[in-house]
């Protein structure tokens, strides 16, 4: 699939999106445009539907209604072509699986490997095309984890696991990066490292969309903020969206949704200004 992402095209466009689990609505009437090359923070309380939105954006969950396009093409085409990199929450990974850091990050290359000659895909991992090995090495270097390449993923600290998940997303060399809470549970140096990596991705023209509860970092780094709790509660510049008043209103919006059995949450949004 040839995708022309030059010019002002939106990286991702969502129209009239509804999503539900067992017919219980989680997202309703979502309309969003993520411009190419911008860094967006998705902010909302626990249970607001942020991860669900990402499942739909990656094409792993079918919406009840509505459409999702990336660079003007249906999201399913991008999923097949590996154009969208996704960093799941740490909890979403089976860490006891007996694979090394290197093999985990190589997983980010599987979409690209479909373009390799069939015989190369049958070879042992050490014979993978050098461009895959280079991408993995660069990604591990970017998150300062190359020295841990041979370590089993189960033998990493929480912050190191986050960095490996980010490396796997980077190895995909995708134009769109979706990151579900990349800053959760990391210490300040790791947080700075991750934010600097994402800033470089944005500078390279990639579109970065991250879920976060870290308001000081969002205020400092991102271009655009989307407030969500089952429906879109606001979007705009970080200064406007992340005021204490807006965040307090977002936390109250959680109470509005509890009648629908979604979003009945304890707000976990930090309103501390940096």
Ligand X SMILES: Nc1ncnc2c1ncn2[C@@H]1O[C@H](COP(=O)(O)OP(=O)(O)OP(=O)(O)O)[C@@H](O)[C@H]1O
Among 13, 17, 34, 50, binds ligand X (CB under 6 A): 50
Q: How far is the CB of 46 from ligand X (least distance, A)?
A: 3
Q: Scanning residues 5 to 34, which ones bind ligand X (CB under 6 A)?
A: 21, 26
Residues in the chain: 274
256 binds ligand X (CB under 6 A): no
Our measurement of the distance from residue 186's CA atom to the centroid of its chain's CA atoms, rounded to an integer in Å, reads 16
51 binds ligand X (CB under 6 A): yes
Which of 50, 224 has the CB closer to ligand X? 50
Binding range to ligand X, per CB under 6 A, among 41-49, 64-72, 127-135, 159-167: 41-49
Binding range to ligand X, per CB under 6 A, among 42-50, 141-149, 170-178, 239-247: 42-50
Q: How far is the CB of 227 from ligand X (least distance, A)?
A: 12
Which of 26, 136 has the CB closer to ligand X? 26
Among 46, 149, 243, 271, binds ligand X (CB under 6 A): 46
Q: Which residue has the tokens 């009648």?
A: 259
226 binds ligand X (CB under 6 A): no
Among 25, 47, 82, 108, binds ligand X (CB under 6 A): 47
190 binds ligand X (CB under 6 A): no
Asked whether the beta carbons of 67 and 31 are under 8 A apart, the reply is: no
Q: Site size for ligand X, by CB under 6 A? A: 11
Residue 23 in tokens? 């017919």
Among 25, 37, 44, 238, binds ligand X (CB under 6 A): 44
Which of 26, 166 has the CB closer to ligand X? 26
Residue 19 in tokens? 């999503």
Q: How far is the CB of 49 from ligand X (least distance, A)?
A: 4
Q: How far is the CB of 44 from ligand X (least distance, A)?
A: 5
Which of 113, 249 has the CB closer to ligand X? 249
Q: Helix, strand, or coil here: 59? A: coil
Residues interacting with ligand X, by CB under 6 A? 21, 26, 44, 46-52, 262
């Amino acid at each position: 699939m040839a995708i022309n992402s030059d010019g002002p095209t939106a990286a991702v466009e969502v129209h009239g999106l509804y999503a539900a689990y067992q017919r219980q609505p989680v997202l309703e009437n979502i309309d969003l445009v993520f411009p190419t090359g911008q860094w967006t923070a998705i902010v909302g309380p626990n249970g607001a539907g942020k991860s669900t939105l990402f499942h739909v954006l990656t094409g792993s969950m079918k919406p009840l209604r509505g459409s999702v396009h990336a660079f003007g093409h249906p999201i399913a085409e991008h999923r097949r072509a590996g154009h969208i990199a996704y960093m799941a929450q740490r909890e979403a990974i089976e860490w006891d699986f007996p694979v090394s850091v290197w093999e985990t990050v190589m997983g980010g290359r599987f979409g690209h490997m479909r373009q390799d000659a069939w015989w190369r895909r049958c070879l042992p991992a050490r014979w993978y095309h050098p461009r895959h090995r280079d991408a993995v090495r660069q990604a591990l270097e970017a998150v300062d984890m190359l020295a841990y390449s041979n370590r089993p993923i189960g033998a990493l600290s929480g912050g190191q696991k986050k960095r490996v998940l980010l490396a796997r997303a980077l190895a995909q060399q995708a134009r769109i990066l979706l990151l579900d809470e990349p800053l959760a549970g990391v210490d300040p140096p790791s947080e700075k490292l991750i934010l600097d990596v994402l800033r470089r991705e944005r500078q390279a023209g990639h579109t970065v969309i991250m879920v976060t509860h870290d308001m000081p970092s969002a205020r400092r780094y991102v271009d655009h903020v989307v407030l969500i709790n089952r429906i879109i509660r606001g979007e705009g510049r970080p200064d406007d969206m992340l005021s204490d008043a807006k965040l307090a209103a977002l936390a109250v919006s959680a109470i509005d949704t509890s009648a629908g059995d979604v979003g009945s949450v304890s707000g976990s949004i930090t309103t501390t200004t940096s």
